[in-house]
């Protein structure tokens, strides 16, 4: 396929409920979508960068800028066979993985349509139903948190993940465990602790957590390995894993026993598959993380989660947990048993609601060779 034009779009969509992590609170998601135009086909991708460079160094306005100045010009006018060809095209630009992923994933999205196969099959998926968890942000009170957990468990979600930070951790986990001794429970610190918190983090062992996600620095493997030695609970890395090479380094060092894969964080589907394969070789399970995606990114996360080593419930939850109306049709729905059934339709398996997308668009730029 030849890339004839690329459309960038920013949508502004209010979240149904604010989302708070150790780095801040979000009420409205600025959604950055990329559309590739090729031979009458449209491939869509989502750049999952946040509004601010707090989760990682990428942020929407920076991603937009690097896409306009460098990434789109490197792709425009090129003839490609598949999504696998994209990393080489963009390799001259260092990092900016979320911006690159939006373009690469849009190529995969178009390729699946062109070949009339479901995207999940094109990626090498093997599971017809994926298991789902939820990530629950820091709340204004313990009561509100318990109420939220109750709602999500009633909806069928198989794993509850709580955001934690110093001051919102042991008391919260103790209350949740006292009420639900058996549920699959994990926590995510988004780098809120340091090695001097080792004893404190070791005290989480009594909560029988599935994992503690990214407790230490966002770029660290070595000190996570030192911490892992001191804990019974498995560590999981999110922020620190940016590539298959990172995954190999982390697993050789013993920095974690579980890996979170976010396709944006690692730069696109090709690298996400490579991360998955490395973890599989080490016998380490992976799960699909989330970045408060709109339906475009969400449908891509669903497709990725069908690969065989996605063995733990992901943060890939129903559209309605995030949005009053998602921009795809049907919405992503979670069955009462806590799974999403994967569609056999060609492509991403969800249609775009173009009128809604148009109405939500606050910025648009069309780029040509």
Sign of CA dihedral 268, 270, 274, 280: positive
Choosing from 78, 262, 311, 324, the catalytic residue is 262
Sign of CA pseudo-dihedral 68, 70, 71, 72: positive
* 291 touches ligand OSB by CB under 6 A: yes
Query: Of residues 162, 275, 292, 328, which one binds ligand OSB by CB under 6 A?
Result: 292
- Of residues 177-196, which lie at the interface with ligand OSB (CB under 6 A)? 188, 190
Reply yes or no on whether 364 is catalytic: no
Q: Which is nearer to Mg ion, 111 or 188 (CB)?
A: 188
Task: Check 100, 161, 163, 165 and give the catalytic one.
Answer: 163
Q: Name the token pair of 363.
A: 């910025």
Which of ligand OSB, Mg ion, none lies near 191, with the C-beta cut-off 5 to 8 A by kind?
none
Radius of gyration of the chain (CA): 20
Residue 317 touches which member of ligand OSB, Mg ion, none, C-beta under 5-8 Å by kind = ligand OSB
Query: Binding residue for ligand OSB (CB under 6 A) from 215, 264, 290, 338?
Result: 290
* The one segment of 78-86, 194-202, 283-291, 337-345 that binds ligand OSB by CB under 6 A: 283-291
Is residue 163 flagged as an active site residue? yes
- In the complex, what is the shortest distance from the CB of residue 20 to Mg ion, in angstroms, rounded to a whole number? 13
Long-range contacts of 164-171 (CB under 8 A, 24+ apart): 164/22, 164/138, 164/188, 164/189, 164/192, 165/21, 165/22, 165/138, 165/189, 165/190, 165/192, 166/192, 166/193, 166/197, 168/138, 169/200, 169/204, 170/200, 170/203, 170/204, 171/142
Handedness of CA 197, 202, 206, 208 (dihedral sign): positive
x/- mask, ligand OSB, residues 236-275, rule CB under 6 A, reads --x-------------------------------------
What is the helix (H) or strand (E) element at residue 274, kind and residue range? Answer: helix 269-281
Residues with catalytic annotation?
Answer: 163, 262
Interface ranges with ligand OSB (CB under 6 A): 21, 55, 135, 188, 190, 238, 289-292, 315, 317
């Amino acid at each position: 396929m030849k890339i004839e034009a690329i459309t960038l779009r920013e949508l502004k969509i209010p979240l149904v409920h604010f989302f708070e992590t150790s780095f801040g609170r979000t009420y409205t998601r600025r959604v950055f979508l990329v559309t590739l135009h090729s031979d009458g086909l449209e491939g869509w991708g989502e750049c999952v960068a946040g509004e601010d460079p707090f989760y990682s160094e990428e942020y929407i306005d920076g991603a937009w800028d690097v896409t306009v100045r460098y990434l789109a010009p490197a792709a425009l006018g090129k003839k490609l066979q598949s999504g696998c060809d994209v990393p080489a095209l963009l390799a001259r630009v260092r990092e900016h993985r979320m911006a690159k992923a939006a373009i690469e994933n849009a190529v995969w999205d178009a390729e699946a349509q062109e070949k009339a196969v479901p995207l999940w099959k094109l990626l090498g998926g093997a599971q017809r139903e994926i298991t789902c968890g939820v990530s629950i942000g820091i709340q204004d009170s313990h009561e509100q948190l318990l109420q939220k957990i109750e709602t999500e468990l009633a909806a069928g979600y198989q794993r509850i993940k709580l955001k934690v930070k110093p001051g919102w951790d042991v008391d919260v986990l103790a209350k949740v465990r006292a009420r639900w001794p058996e549920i699959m429970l994990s926590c995510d610190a988004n780098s809120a602790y340091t090695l001097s918190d080792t004893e404190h983090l070791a005290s989480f062992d009594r909560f029988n957590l599935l994992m503690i996600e990214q407790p230490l620095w966002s770029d660290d493997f070595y000190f996570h390995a030192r911490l892992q030695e001191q804990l019974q609970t498995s560590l999981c890395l999110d922020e620190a894993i940016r590539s298959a090479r990172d995954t190999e380094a982390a697993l050789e060092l013993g920095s974690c026993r579980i890996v979170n894969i976010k396709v944006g964080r690692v730069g696109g589907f090709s690298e996400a598959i490579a991360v998955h394969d490395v973890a599989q070789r080490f016998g380490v399970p992976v799960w699909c993380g989330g970045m408060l995606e709109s339906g475009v990114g969400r449908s891509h996360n669903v497709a990725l989660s069908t690969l065989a080593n996605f063995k733990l419930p992901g943060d890939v939850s129903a559209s309605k947990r995030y949005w009053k109306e998602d921009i795809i049709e049907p919405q992503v729905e979670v069955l009462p048993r806590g799974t999403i059934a994967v569609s056999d339709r060609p492509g991403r398996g969800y249609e775009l609601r173009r009128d809604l997308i148009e109405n939500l668009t606050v910025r648009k730029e069309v780029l040509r060779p």
